[in-house]
A = this chain, B = another copy of it.
Amino acid sequence: MSEDKRTELETIGEFGLIDALTKGFKKKNDSTIFGIGDDAAVINRDDKNVTLVSTDFLIEGIHFNLMYTPLKHLGYKSVVVNLSDIYAMNGRPEQITVSIAVSNRFPKEALEELYDGIKTACDIYNIDLIGGDTTSSLSGLVISVTALGTAKKEDVVYRSGAKENDLLVVTGDLGAAYMGLQVLEREKSVYKANPDIQPDLDGFDYLLERQLKPEARKDVIQFLKDLDVKPTSMIDVSDGLASEIFHLCKGSDLGAQIYDEKLPIDTKVSMTAIDFNIDPATCILNGGEDYELLFSVAQEDFDKIKGNPHMSIIGHFTSKDAGVYMIDKQGAAIKLKAQGWDSFRGE
Interface of A with B (CB < 8 Å)? 1-2, 5-10, 12, 14, 17-18, 20-22, 24-25, 27-29, 31-32, 34-36, 40-41, 43, 45-46, 51, 53-57, 59-63, 71, 94-95, 97, 99, 101-102, 104, 106-113, 115, 119, 122, 126-140, 142, 144, 146, 148, 150, 343-344
Chain B residues within an 8 Å CB radius of A140: 138-139
User: Are the CB atoms of B109 and A5 closer together than 8 Å?
Assistant: yes
Give the CA-CA distance A5 to B63 in the complex, in Å: 28
Q: Which residues of B contact A104 (CB under 8 A)?
A: 8-10, 344
A138 close to B59 (CB less than 8 A): yes
Q: With A57-B99, A134-B14 as known contacts, state yes or no: A129 contacts B36, CB within 8 Å.
A: yes
B131, A35: Cβ atoms closer than 8 Å? yes
Classify the secondary structure of A's interface with B: mixed
Query: CB-nearest residue of chain B relative to A345?
Result: B136
List 6 tightest A-B contacts by C-beta distance, closest first: A41-B130, A46-B46, A144-B144, A7-B108, A35-B130, A136-B343
B97 touching A55 by the CB < 8 A rule?
yes
**A28-B343 contact given A1-B71, A59-B137, A109-B6, CB 8 Å threshold:** no
5 examples of A-B residue contacts, CB within 8 angstroms: A7-B108, A21-B134, A27-B128, A29-B126, A63-B135
* A33 CB, min distance to chain B CBs, angstroms: 9
Contact in complex: A109, B2 (CB < 8 Å): yes
* Bound-state Cα–Cα, A6 to B109, Å: 6
Known: A5-B107, A6-B109, A45-B45. 15 other contacts (CB 8 A): A7-B109, A8-B104, A9-B136, A17-B134, A21-B111, A21-B112, A21-B115, A22-B129, A32-B128, A40-B131, A41-B95, A46-B46, A53-B95, A55-B144, A57-B99
Most chain B beta-carbon neighbours within 10 Å: one of A29, A53, A95, A136: A136
Query: What distance in Å separates the Cβ of A120 from its nearest Cβ neighbour in chain B?
Result: 11
Is the beta-carbon distance between A108 and B17 smaller than 8 angstroms?
yes
Partner of A57, one of B2, B5, B21, B144: B144
**Neighbouring B residues of A56 by C-beta, 8 Å:** 99, 133
Which residue, A10, A43, A60, A102, has most C-beta atoms of chain B within 10 A? Answer: A43
**A33 — nearest CB in chain B belongs to which residue?**
B130
A128 CB, min distance to chain B CBs, angstroms: 4
- What's the nearest-Cβ distance from chain B to residue A341, in Å? 10
Assess A57 versus B101: contact at CB under 8 Å? Given A12-B108, A136-B344.
yes
When distances are taken between beta carbons in the complex, the residues of chain B under 8 Å from A27 are 128
Which residues does chain B contribute within 8 Å of A51, judged by CB atoms? 43, 45, 51, 148
Find the B residue at minimum CB distance from A127.
B28
Contact present for B107 and A6 (CB under 8 Å):
yes
Chain B residues lying within 8 Å of A107, measured Cβ to Cβ, are 1, 5-9
What is the distance, in angstroms, from A312's C-beta to the closest C-beta of chain B?
29
Chain B residues whose CB sits within 8 angstroms of the CB of A110 once the complex forms: 1
